[in-house]
Homo-oligomer: A and B are copies of this chain.
């Protein structure tokens, strides 16, 4: 169950409206790595978790916080839009190219659809999609996904920080940056603990019997580009992070295997083939079959 309290975790008010910045801020609300994504992602991971206890509690705990972040950003965006100009007929706009320019940079649906309100979209207006969510049931994979989400999110907030000098906006961003710092650290710590406690190991999933994979290429770097420097990395020689092998390097792929012959599905799929007299024959086949239909 979720309970709502009419308070915000942190102050979320700009010093002054800024409809262009409102659009930019949509990215971290409704984008691929926005707050809706992490709120839903941690939610689905917790509901699908196969073990009770601290890991699931962690997912529940951060998931609910992120729903509050969705709310803070939506609240901020609505305020940034409070003086959004209605449109091109304003006298001020006609006289002032800067104002005209501003209009060019706004999310038009903020005005036309939401009436100066926030929307569940990214900065280019794409509606949020659940295709962004990751929840596999394998916690080491999922915590790595979460660490990535918090990193991408913090990179985006950091970029947005420089796109405004509004102290109120920056105050909220500094709070979000701190929470992203915390959450990055937490998912990394949780991923490490999972491995130390033996629940999962590398390579993920660790309980698939590795002898079933083609072990001759499990630790071989095969270079399909002509860059010479890839051999210099720790991924081309030395022990592998999973502790199970030793990296090797192959500068050029081995000769491959021949492609299988093209397929010849049923003639009634009407694919183009090179069978002799194909039109007549296929038609014949078809007609033979049609008689039976």
Contact flag A114-B101 (CB < 8 Å), given A185-B202, A209-B286, A210-B181:
no
Asked if A9 and B256 make an inter-chain contact with CB atoms under 8 angstroms apart, the answer reads yes
Alpha-carbon distance A263/B5, docked complex (angstroms): 19
Asked if B51 and A272 make an inter-chain contact with CB atoms under 8 angstroms apart, the answer reads yes
CB contacts (< 8 Å) of A189 on chain B: these are 233-235, 240-241, 247
Asked if B224 and A2 make an inter-chain contact with CB atoms under 8 angstroms apart, the answer reads yes
Render A1-13 as a binary contact track against B, CB cut-off 8 A, 1 for contact.
1111111111111
Would you list which residues of chain A between 4 and 46 have a CB under 8 Å from chain B? 4-13, 18, 20-21, 23-24, 27, 30-32, 36, 40, 43-44
Asked if A233 and B190 make an inter-chain contact with CB atoms under 8 angstroms apart, the answer reads yes
Asked if B2 and A64 make an inter-chain contact with CB atoms under 8 angstroms apart, the answer reads yes
Alpha-carbon distance A177/B207, docked complex (angstroms): 13
Asked if A148 and B154 make an inter-chain contact with CB atoms under 8 angstroms apart, the answer reads no
Name 11 interchain pairs, CB-CB below 8 A, sorted by A: A1-B7, A24-B87, A48-B74, A115-B136, A158-B270, A178-B214, A189-B240, A198-B277, A198-B279, A199-B279, A205-B270
Alpha-carbon distance A54/B6, docked complex (angstroms): 13
Would you list which residues of chain A between 214 and 262 have a CB under 8 Å from chain B? 214-235, 240-242, 245, 247, 253, 255-262
CB contacts (< 8 Å) of A50 on chain B: these are 262-265, 271-273
Return the contact of A233 from the options B54, B113, B133, B245 (Cβ within 8 A).
Answer: B54
Asked if B1 and A2 make an inter-chain contact with CB atoms under 8 angstroms apart, the answer reads no
Render A65-109 as a binary contact track against B, CB cut-off 8 A, 1 for contact.
101101100110011011111111101000011101111110111
CB contacts (< 8 Å) of A145 on chain B: these are 148, 152
Asked if A138 and B125 make an inter-chain contact with CB atoms under 8 angstroms apart, the answer reads no
Asked if B194 and A272 make an inter-chain contact with CB atoms under 8 angstroms apart, the answer reads yes
Render A112-133 as a binary contact track against B, CB cut-off 8 A, 1 for contact.
1111111111111111111111
CB contacts (< 8 Å) of A261 on chain B: these are 52
Closest to A171 in B: B214
Alpha-carbon distance A122/B163, docked complex (angstroms): 24
20 additional A-B residue pairs with CB within 8 Å, beyond A24-B112, A97-B101, A199-B273: A5-B225, A5-B226, A12-B260, A13-B260, A44-B120, A47-B71, A48-B114, A61-B224, A78-B263, A115-B137, A131-B131, A137-B272, A138-B271, A171-B214, A177-B212, A184-B203, A186-B247, A189-B235, A194-B272, A198-B277
Alpha-carbon distance A96/B97, docked complex (angstroms): 9
A104 to chain B, nearest CB (A): 3
Alpha-carbon distance A97/B97, docked complex (angstroms): 6
